[in-house]
């Protein structure tokens, strides 16, 4: 039993690492530069360079990944490029509504499933 649990735990860790790696790659494959959200096109290139440095975008991709992974596991998701606020604050505001919607859908689907099961039996 312990061997089975250890095997499953290792598989879970590898799957989480794989998903995080794919997410990181997809984020960096997205077209455009995140600094373009912060700046106007006519801005001084020195300011653009400073913004890229502050966001850590001037680092090589592998260094960005090595910085991103520990921050992710510590719950530091950074600052939203759109709202200019910490992502954790945005999540804290939106999670209750998401959970409420999920609960309503789950209960309604459960009731519909039971009723259909009784009807079709």
What's the pLDDT at 62? 92
CB atoms within 10 A of CB 84: 9
> Where is 36: in which H helix or E strand?
helix 35-38
- Its domain, for residue 121, covers 80-121
pLDDT tens digits for range 60-90: 999 999 998 999 889 888 888 778 899 999 9
- pLDDT for residue 100 is more than 90: yes
Angle at Cα 42 formed by Cα 37 and Cα 45, nearest 5°? 80
Residues with Cβ within 8 Å of residue 87, at least 6 apart in sequence? 77, 78, 79, 80
Distance (Å, whole) CA 13 – CA 90:
27
**Number of domains the chain is built from:** 1
In a domain? residue 69:
no
What's the pLDDT at 81? 76
What's the pLDDT at 16? 93
In a domain? residue 66:
no
What's the pLDDT at 4? 93
Q: Rounded to the nearest 5°, which phi and psi values hold at 34?
A: -55, -25
In a domain? residue 48:
no
In a domain? residue 99:
yes
In a domain? residue 50:
no
pTM of the model: 0.67
In a domain? residue 45:
no
Name which residue leads in pLDDT, 52 or 101. 101
């Amino acid at each position: 039993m312990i061997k089975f649990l250890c095997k499953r735990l290792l598989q879970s860790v590898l799957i989480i690492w794989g998903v995080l790696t794919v997410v990181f790659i997809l984020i960096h494959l997205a077209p455009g530069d995140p600094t373009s959200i912060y700046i106007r096109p006519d801005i001084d290139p020195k300011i653009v360079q400073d913004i890229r440095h502050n966001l850590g975008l001037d680092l090589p991709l592998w260094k960005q990944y090595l910085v991103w992974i520990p921050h992710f596991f510590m719950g530091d998701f950074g600052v939203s490029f759109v709202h200019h606020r910490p992502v954790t604050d945005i999540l804290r505001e939106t999670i209750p509504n998401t959970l409420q919607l999920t609960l309503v859908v789950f209960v309604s689907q459960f009731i519909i499933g039971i009723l259909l099961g009784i009807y079709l039996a």
